[in-house]
Protein backbone atom coordinates (compact mmCIF):
# COMPACT_ATOMS: atom_id res chain seq x y z
CA UNK A 1 0.00 0.00 0.00
CA UNK A 2 2.88 2.37 0.81
CA UNK A 3 4.33 1.76 -2.69
CA UNK A 4 1.03 2.84 -4.30
CA UNK A 5 1.05 6.11 -2.31
CA UNK A 6 4.71 6.68 -3.15
CA UNK A 7 4.12 6.14 -6.89
CA UNK A 8 0.98 8.31 -6.80
CA UNK A 9 2.86 11.08 -4.97
CA UNK A 10 5.71 10.96 -7.49
CA UNK A 11 3.25 11.22 -10.39
CA UNK A 12 1.55 14.25 -8.82
CA UNK A 13 4.90 15.89 -8.09
CA UNK A 14 6.08 15.29 -11.68
CA UNK A 15 2.86 16.75 -13.10
CA UNK A 16 3.17 19.85 -10.87
CA UNK A 17 6.76 20.43 -11.98
CA UNK A 18 5.85 20.03 -15.67
CA UNK A 19 2.91 22.45 -15.48
CA UNK A 20 4.85 25.05 -13.48
CA UNK A 21 7.66 25.08 -16.08
CA UNK A 22 5.31 25.61 -19.02
CA UNK A 23 5.52 29.13 -20.52
CA UNK A 24 2.67 31.04 -22.07
CA UNK A 25 4.14 31.13 -25.57
CA UNK A 26 1.39 33.40 -26.95
CA UNK A 27 2.48 36.18 -24.60
CA UNK A 28 6.20 35.67 -25.18
CA UNK A 29 7.31 38.01 -27.97
CA UNK A 30 11.05 37.76 -27.40
CA UNK A 31 12.81 35.22 -29.57
CA UNK A 32 15.30 33.24 -27.58
CA UNK A 33 17.79 31.75 -30.00
CA UNK A 34 18.66 28.11 -29.70
CA UNK A 35 22.26 27.01 -29.72
CA UNK A 36 21.96 25.53 -33.20
CA UNK A 37 19.78 27.95 -35.20
CA UNK A 38 21.19 30.83 -37.24
CA UNK A 39 19.91 34.06 -35.71
CA UNK A 40 20.28 37.81 -36.04
CA UNK A 41 19.97 40.44 -33.33
CA UNK A 42 20.89 44.00 -32.45
CA UNK A 43 22.25 45.56 -29.29
CA UNK A 44 20.15 48.65 -30.14
CA UNK A 45 16.68 47.03 -30.28
CA UNK A 46 14.87 43.73 -29.77
CA UNK A 47 12.82 41.58 -32.08
CA UNK A 48 9.20 42.83 -32.12
CA UNK A 49 10.36 45.98 -30.34
CA UNK A 50 10.53 49.63 -31.30
CA UNK A 51 13.00 50.83 -33.92
CA UNK A 52 15.15 53.57 -32.34
CA UNK A 53 14.67 57.10 -33.68
CA UNK A 54 18.44 57.29 -34.35
CA UNK A 55 18.01 55.06 -37.43
CA UNK A 56 15.13 57.06 -38.96
CA UNK A 57 14.74 60.32 -40.83
CA UNK A 58 13.54 61.87 -37.56
CA UNK A 59 17.17 61.82 -36.38
CA UNK A 60 20.57 61.21 -37.97
CA UNK A 61 19.29 58.30 -40.06
CA UNK A 62 22.32 56.02 -39.78
CA UNK A 63 22.10 52.32 -40.59
CA UNK A 64 21.49 50.05 -37.60
CA UNK A 65 24.07 47.81 -35.96
CA UNK A 66 23.36 44.09 -36.34
CA UNK A 67 25.02 40.84 -35.42
CA UNK A 68 24.41 37.18 -36.20
CA UNK A 69 25.53 33.85 -34.81
CA UNK A 70 25.38 30.09 -35.31
CA UNK A 71 26.45 30.38 -38.92
CA UNK A 72 25.51 27.30 -40.99
CA UNK A 73 28.29 25.13 -42.38
CA UNK A 74 29.11 26.02 -45.98
CA UNK A 75 28.41 29.75 -45.59
CA UNK A 76 30.73 31.91 -47.68
CA UNK A 77 28.98 35.29 -47.44
CA UNK A 78 26.11 37.18 -45.83
CA UNK A 79 23.57 39.76 -46.89
CA UNK A 80 21.21 42.10 -45.05
CA UNK A 81 17.91 43.47 -46.36
CA UNK A 82 15.63 45.90 -44.53
CA UNK A 83 12.18 46.44 -45.98
CA UNK A 84 8.62 47.46 -45.19
CA UNK A 85 5.45 46.18 -46.82
CA UNK A 86 2.99 49.08 -46.98
CA UNK A 87 -0.77 48.63 -47.41
CA UNK A 88 -0.42 49.44 -51.10
CA UNK A 89 2.49 48.38 -53.34
CA UNK A 90 5.32 48.74 -53.97
CA UNK A 91 7.37 47.41 -51.07
CA UNK A 92 9.86 49.83 -49.60
CA UNK A 93 13.49 48.75 -49.36
CA UNK A 94 15.71 50.74 -47.00
CA UNK A 95 18.86 48.66 -47.08
CA UNK A 96 20.32 45.98 -49.32
CA UNK A 97 23.86 45.06 -48.29
CA UNK A 98 25.32 41.94 -49.90
CA UNK A 99 28.61 40.04 -50.30
CA UNK A 100 29.48 40.60 -46.66
CA UNK A 101 32.55 38.41 -45.97
CA UNK A 102 32.01 35.18 -44.03
CA UNK A 103 34.49 36.41 -41.41
CA UNK A 104 32.08 39.24 -40.54
CA UNK A 105 29.48 38.41 -37.90
CA UNK A 106 28.30 41.95 -37.17
CA UNK A 107 27.99 45.35 -38.75
CA UNK A 108 28.29 48.61 -36.81
CA UNK A 109 26.05 51.64 -36.81
CA UNK A 110 26.55 53.62 -40.04
CA UNK A 111 28.23 50.65 -41.72
CA UNK A 112 30.66 51.36 -44.54
CA UNK A 113 33.46 49.43 -46.19
CA UNK A 114 31.78 46.05 -45.56
CA UNK A 115 29.99 44.31 -48.41
CA UNK A 116 28.30 46.03 -51.32
CA UNK A 117 25.24 48.29 -51.07
CA UNK A 118 22.49 47.70 -53.60
CA UNK A 119 19.55 49.89 -54.45
CA UNK A 120 17.08 51.19 -51.89
CA UNK A 121 13.68 52.40 -53.07
CA UNK A 122 13.84 55.77 -51.32
CA UNK A 123 16.90 57.54 -52.72
CA UNK A 124 18.75 57.30 -56.04
CA UNK A 125 22.04 56.32 -54.36
CA UNK A 126 23.09 52.85 -53.25
CA UNK A 127 23.19 52.75 -49.46
CA UNK A 128 21.00 52.92 -46.40
CA UNK A 129 17.90 55.11 -46.60
CA UNK A 130 16.32 55.78 -43.22
CA UNK A 131 12.60 55.07 -42.92
CA UNK A 132 10.23 58.00 -42.48
CA UNK A 133 7.06 56.64 -40.92
CA UNK A 134 4.21 58.48 -42.59
CA UNK A 135 0.52 58.24 -41.85
CA UNK A 136 -1.20 57.00 -38.73
CA UNK A 137 -0.07 54.04 -36.66
CA UNK A 138 3.08 52.03 -36.23
CA UNK A 139 4.81 50.63 -39.31
CA UNK A 140 6.47 47.21 -39.34
CA UNK A 141 10.03 46.99 -40.67
CA UNK A 142 11.71 43.64 -41.31
CA UNK A 143 15.47 43.17 -41.27
CA UNK A 144 16.58 39.85 -42.78
CA UNK A 145 20.08 38.44 -42.58
CA UNK A 146 20.94 35.78 -45.18
CA UNK A 147 23.66 33.14 -44.88
CA UNK A 148 24.73 32.26 -48.44
CA UNK A 149 26.68 29.36 -49.92
CA UNK A 150 28.35 31.69 -52.43
CA UNK A 151 28.47 35.44 -53.06
CA UNK A 152 25.73 37.06 -55.14
CA UNK A 153 26.84 37.84 -58.69
CA UNK A 154 25.19 40.43 -60.94
CA UNK A 155 25.68 41.73 -64.46
CA UNK A 156 24.46 45.22 -63.50
CA UNK A 157 26.08 47.91 -61.39
CA UNK A 158 25.55 47.70 -57.62
CA UNK A 159 23.28 50.77 -57.68
CA UNK A 160 20.96 48.82 -60.02
CA UNK A 161 20.71 45.71 -57.83
CA UNK A 162 17.14 45.72 -56.53
CA UNK A 163 15.71 43.51 -53.79
CA UNK A 164 13.87 41.44 -56.41
CA UNK A 165 17.04 40.97 -58.48
CA UNK A 166 18.96 40.08 -55.33
CA UNK A 167 16.38 37.52 -54.15
CA UNK A 168 16.38 35.86 -57.58
CA UNK A 169 20.19 35.68 -57.56
CA UNK A 170 20.33 33.98 -54.14
CA UNK A 171 17.35 31.64 -54.55
CA UNK A 172 19.60 28.56 -54.76
CA UNK A 173 22.36 29.93 -52.50
CA UNK A 174 20.45 30.63 -49.29
CA UNK A 175 21.48 28.32 -46.46
CA UNK A 176 19.57 30.13 -43.70
CA UNK A 177 17.79 33.38 -42.88
CA UNK A 178 16.92 35.21 -39.70
CA UNK A 179 14.50 38.10 -39.31
CA UNK A 180 14.28 40.90 -36.79
CA UNK A 181 10.97 42.80 -36.88
CA UNK A 182 10.63 46.30 -35.45
CA UNK A 183 8.00 49.01 -35.45
CA UNK A 184 8.25 52.78 -35.70
CA UNK A 185 5.59 55.44 -35.57
Cα dihedral sign for 106, 111, 113, 114?
Answer: positive
pLDDT digits (tens, 9 = 90+) for 81-116: 999 988 788 889 999 999 999 999 999 999 999 999
Residue 159 makes CB contacts below 8 A (sequence gap 6+) with 118, 119, 125, 126
Check residues 36 and 30 and name the one with the higher pLDDT: 36
CA 35/CA 18 separation, integer angstroms = 23
The length of the chain, given as a count of residues: 185
Question: What pTM did the predictor assign?
Answer: 0.80
Name the residue among 98, 96, 81 with its Cα closest to residue 152: 98
Ordered structural domains, the chain, with CATH? 38-184 (3.90.280.10)
Start-to-end Cα distance in the chain: 66
DSSP state of 96: E
Is the Cα torsion angle 69, 153, 108, 46 positive or negative in sign? Answer: negative
Residue 47 has pLDDT above 90, yes or no: yes
What is the per-residue pLDDT for 95?
98
Name 32's Cβ contacts closer than 8 Å, sequence gap at least 6: none
Interval 51-87: pLDDT, tens: 999 999 999 999 999 999 999 999 999 999 999 988 7
160 compared with 2, residue with greater pLDDT: 160
Amino acid sequence: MKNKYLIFSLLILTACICFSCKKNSAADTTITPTTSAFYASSAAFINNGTFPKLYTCDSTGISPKLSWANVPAGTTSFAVVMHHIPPTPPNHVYMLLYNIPVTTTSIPDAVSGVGIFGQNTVTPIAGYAPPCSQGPGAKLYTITVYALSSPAVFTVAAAQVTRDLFLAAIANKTLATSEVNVTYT
